[in-house]
Structure 1
């Protein structure tokens, strides 16, 4: 499986090296690091990686989570807390079928002290929580090991039929387009926009859109903008009885 492990703003070299070792144990090899606060090739990181030193050296560094997820078609966040306006975390085993259906899934872990913040989790289609005892705080490498085990080694079962879904970059572009359209037609305002978009994200992410479907949706949004601009130019309100310009479903 082409599973990428994304570490967001890790603080200590030892944790990065240990996470790389955990990945190698479970058969993952694509390590991505977003805005690290330390040198991921520090001697402590290399020492903790042990036989995963080559995996560590091959890690890719990104400035933002959006860039790290751009080519992924499924992103799975990790969190031990319930968040307002965001779907509740699920047991990793329940998410395994989604991950195995994806062509390019990503598993996202937050900083050691805080975990992923809301703006990070917004970019993840689903969130998982590792079931623990009363003390729920896990070391970063422990979390990487456990969730990678669930996704890569947890159960020997036939691989389901793969369905190619839109990349996260395509979905983020679509959500930006949706937000612009909501403002254009007065569907929301600056105060409510973030909450409203979160609700739309939760609904549309569950659909696991293909690239063609995301383009279809954006074609609809372009038609809405054209209709509003046309009505404004005519000095009238947009209505169904006015002639409309057609937009091809596959237009970008």
Structure 2
């Protein structure tokens, strides 16, 4: 039985473990600095056993699902240890620095820089769920730097997860993802912060929180431990996206200050175009 090793037993790592165990019959091993995560993952059946990092040469597939700021360090150690035919991929949402960190490693050809666009606002092994990746996009960067047999193995695995694969340059990936993912999280965190600061009555928030507010602020429940490194690792792109967002907020505020109903109406109608782009995208539960 082939051995799958998950390094980082949170939402993404745990969900990959559950799906790949069920769909591909792997024996799944876990590595995590938090012993509570190991214990919980064992109790929940996410992993079959813990593995010592020194034993990684036995693995057929290694998935790195740790915070993005430590992926380069972990990735180098993994590549130093694995066998010649082992597939290694990460799931980080910032790709350029990771790719640069191992560009000259002798086992660079074993690595696939991946970013599955899937997740929820929950974290830890308890958040792991089956079928998280079905019909989601998985971005692969610098596919040409991976050995074709290793890449074929990775694509076969992603297809078993029912993922749609898109190839992208890591610099372009980080720029685009700052707008469509990272800015969404900043916006949600700051909306939650604003409401908590202005509205001190928690019961009022609970009673009056419409589905619109709940869905908009949903991402504010995301793990700070996960998202702080993401914002800092993609700093330039996040700042650029925030500059644009703040500019639009100020302009929108001015329209309201000036009772400019025509400008408000025009701005919102033009923004309705987003519906035509998002039609067909499965919304989170």
Structure 1-normalised TM-score? Answer: 0.32
Normalised to the residue count of structure 2, the TM-score between the two structures is 0.29
Q: Which has the higher contact order (CA 8 A, sep 6+)?
A: 1
Hey, which of these two has a bigger chunk of helix by percent? 2
